[in-house]
């Protein structure tokens, strides 16, 4: 980088950015955003297809509660005389048959459906802690999940328009995240029944365990969207004010336009790859704004110092020199951050994975933008607002004393 004039790359860089952003706009016009339930209003649930191992009920006068912690089932009796707890670890009761016999011996009414299921695979969902009554409660156990694939689940939900299915955790666990956009005037319970009704037709109602559910109504989603846009706009205004005070207006305008470029590049990336747009996307955008701005300010600060120390020198050469001086810092900062983010994009799932993917692209674009786009814009605004003039009279006097 010692002898490279980075400003020579401004034309191909601007052409690339313009084409990429235009492509994003075209895809957006044709397909729109792939909105998540945060912005589209919808229902999401994590569901696991797990065979029913047994049903349990309790007809006594005490309060009986079943809870699951890891691979241990705990039975708690509460009465006026006190609390009694009994634990049933999988190490002592390795099969559903043995666990069922132990629970029956403790005073519960147990019906074992499949005694061969392994108690290491106890599944806990919304049903736990389970308060036992005379109505049978279900205890499910996961299997290797070979018969429950993401394609089979999508096939089971094919009657639901716009459904999205993702694998959760181990692909053989039979656990999935299902998301649907709401129909008009549809509530959480109706959306849940719509999903679980279709799943029940294929897998049986008794084999479906809801692990977690989220519901975002239309009012909340629209409010969240407005708040997200407001957050980005406020960030831009504050940045413009800050840089205008610390630097000259040419620096501030260059920084803001470069940040707008970064946001448009990220949104184009999201739209073209059809990544889900959710609150994590906004978090990634704000993160990249901060990262890119910091890197731009470091370079601009170097430009200002070099111009002060080399008064009368060509501003373009000073800008290019400043970028070269900051290149090692930009490269190392970006690379080390990628070391932390790339594993998340590979090994995580859901919103965390989307956030990591967005951040990887944003880091690369931010480094490219602060090193090429922002300096190129600075030279454009230099024609109207020269960067080689001393901003304050005080600075002018200081330099006259030095001379």
For residue 156, what pLDDT is reported? 85
Long-range interactions of 65-74: CB distance < 8 A, separation 24+ = 65/129, 65/130, 65/131, 65/132, 66/128, 66/129, 66/130, 66/132, 66/137, 66/139, 67/128, 67/129, 67/130, 68/122, 68/124, 68/128, 71/119, 71/120, 71/122, 73/99, 73/103, 73/119, 73/122, 73/139
**Contact in structure between 128 and 68 (CB atoms under 8 Å):** yes
For residue 250, what pLDDT is reported? 82
Give the Cα separation of 269 and 173 in Å (integer). Answer: 32
Structure confidence by residue, pLDDT tens digits, 286-301 = 888 888 888 888 888 8
Which residues of the chain are under the pLDDT cut of 70? 1-4, 36-41, 126, 144-147, 169-173, 184-186, 216-224, 312, 387-403
For residue 97, what pLDDT is reported? 92
Q: In Å, what is the CA distance from 3 to each residue of 6, 7, 201, 295, 302?
A: 9, 12, 69, 21, 17
For residue 146, what pLDDT is reported? 58
Q: What is the pTM of this model?
A: 0.64
């Amino acid at each position: 980088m010692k002898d490279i004039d980075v400003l020579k790359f401004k034309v191909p860089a601007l052409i690339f950015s313009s084409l990429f952003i235009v492509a994003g706009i075209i895809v957006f016009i044709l397909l729109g955003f792939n909105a998540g339930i945060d912005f589209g209003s919808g229902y999401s649930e994590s569901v696991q297809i797990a065979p029913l191992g047994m049903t349990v009920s309790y007809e006594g006068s005490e309060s009986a509660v079943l809870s699951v912690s890891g691979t241990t089932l705990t039975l708690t009796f509460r009465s006026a005389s006190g609390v009694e707890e009994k634990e049933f670890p999988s190490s002592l009761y390795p099969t559903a048959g043995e666990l069922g016999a132990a629970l029956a011996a403790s005073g519960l009414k147990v019906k074992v459906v499949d005694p061969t299921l392994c108690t290491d695979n106890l599944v806990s969902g919304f049903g736990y802690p389970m308060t036992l009554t005379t109505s049978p409660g279900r205890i499910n156990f996961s299997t290797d999940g070979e018969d429950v694939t993401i394609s089979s689940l999508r096939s089971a939900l094919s009657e639901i328009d716009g459904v999205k299915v993702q694998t959760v955790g181990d692909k053989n666990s039979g656990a999935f995240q299902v998301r649907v956009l709401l129909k008009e005037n549809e509530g959480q319970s109706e959306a849940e029944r719509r999903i679980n009704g279709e799943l029940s037709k294929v897998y049986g109602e008794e084999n479906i365990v809801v692990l977690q559910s989220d519901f975002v109504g239309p009012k909340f989603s629209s409010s969240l969207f407005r708040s997200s846009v407001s957050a980005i706009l406020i960030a831009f205004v504050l940045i413009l004010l800050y840089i205008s005070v610390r630097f000259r207006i040419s620096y501030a305008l260059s920084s803001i336009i470069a940040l707008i470029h970064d946001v448009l590049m990220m949104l184009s990336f999201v739209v073209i790859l059809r990544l889900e747009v959710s609150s994590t996307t906004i978090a990634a955008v704000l993160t990249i704004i901060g990262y890119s701005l910091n890197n731009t300010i470091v370079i601009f600060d170097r430009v200002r110092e070099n111009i002060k120390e080399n008064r009368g020198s060509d501003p373009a050469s000073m800008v290019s020199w400043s970028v070269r001086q900051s290149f090692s810092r930009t490269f190392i900062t970006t690379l080390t951050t990628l070391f932390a983010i790339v594993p998340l994009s590979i090994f995580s799932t859901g919103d965390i994975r989307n956030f990591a993917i967005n951040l990887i692209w944003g880091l690369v674009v931010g480094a490219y933008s602060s090193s090429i786009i922002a300096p190129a814009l600075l030279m454009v605004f230099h024609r109207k607002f020269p960067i080689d003039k001393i901003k304050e009279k005080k600075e002018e006097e200081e330099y006259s004393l030095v001379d």
